[in-house]
Amino acid sequence: MGNVIKKLAIGLVVGGALVGITRALEFPFVFQMMFFGYAMLGAAVFMLLDAPSLKTMSGTKSVIALLAFYIVLCTVYIAGASMWPQYDPEDEKGKIAKILGPKFAATQQGKAEELIARAKALDEQVKALEVRLKALGGDETTKEPQAGALPVTTGAATGDFMKLGEEQWQLQECYNCHKLKGEGGKKRGPELDNIGTYLTVDEIKLKILDPKSFMAEGYEKDWEKGKMPDKYKDLMEESDVVALAAWLGTFKNTSVPTPKPIKKK
């Protein structure tokens, strides 16, 4: 017992000191607690080192001890994993639907499902019309839109087009490698706030579709290794690439040191 109290006291002192130091260094509270936790882990380890030997068990006693040990392990692992911040799958589901939606529609199954959906919609509208016709005595024409016709749109305004470009930036997770508007990027790729000054929309589009077409100054090794994935020509629709390129082309902030692209092809 003396061993436990002594180690616990040392752990609390070290943990307290770590909290004090990390607070002085302006670590957020959660990190201060994390360092306190490390100190307590150290105390627990040293308690175990100097703990008295466990007596040999046998028979039912050892079976019960073993089962209890497994229950503790399972509980600790599930609880431990659940205590870390959890990613919300809902954040991803919408993205996946947007990315895979056009691909699914292009498959045989997708086409078949779309036809079934349209047929169902037609059926619903016919039924609704029948009800209305009956109510009107059958001689009044309907003002309902043509069954199966696509909804009338006002045309893609420029704002919507730019919004589509920005949406592609998010969907394709370009922010993981490129910094833009001060957000994202881990120095894997160049900052793009001034890309519109250097490249035309067509050139940006070419770079997205063929990453080897341009090389950013200072990124020679990354260009040689092909760090930028050569996959967007297969993953993205033509209209999405154009929208993304057009949106990126609007970024002409000369105060940001976007590296100069060099044409390679």
Residues that bind other proteins (CB under 8 A): 25-31, 34-35, 38, 41-42, 45-46, 48-49, 51, 53-58, 62, 65-66, 69-70, 73-74, 77-78, 80-82, 84-89, 91-93, 96, 99-100, 103-104, 107, 109-110, 173, 176-177, 184, 186, 188, 210, 212, 225-231, 233-235
CB of 34: closest distance to other proteins in angstroms?
A: 7
Nearer to other proteins, 93 or 118 (CB): 93
* Shortest distance in whole angstroms from residue 134 CB to other proteins: 39
- At its nearest, how many Å lie between other proteins and the CB of residue 24? 11
Q: Are 182 and 230 in contact (CB under 8 A)?
A: no
The least CB distance from residue 195 to other proteins, in Å, is 18
Is the Cβ–Cβ distance between 180 and 191 less than 8 Å? yes
Q: Which is nearer to other proteins, 66 or 156 (CB)?
A: 66
Is the Cβ of residue 101 or residue 145 nearer to other proteins in the bound state? 101
**Rounded distance between C-alpha atoms, residue 209 and residue 228, angstroms:** 10
Q: How far is the CB of 158 from other proteins (least distance, A)?
A: 27
Task: Kindly tell me which of 45 and 129 has the beta carbon lying closer to other proteins.
Answer: 45
| Minimum distance, C-beta of residue 53 to other proteins, in the bound complex (Å) | 4
Least separation, in Å, of the C-beta of 146 and other proteins? 30
Those residues with Cβ within 8 angstroms of residue 13's Cβ, 6 or more apart along the chain or in another chain: none
Beta carbon nearer to other proteins, 106 or 129: 106
Cβ–Cβ under 8 Å, residues 183 and 259:
no
Q: CB-wise, 2 or 80, nearer to other proteins? A: 80
Closer residue to other proteins (CB): 124 or 224: 224
Task: For the chain, report the end-to-end CA distance as a whole number of angstroms.
Answer: 74
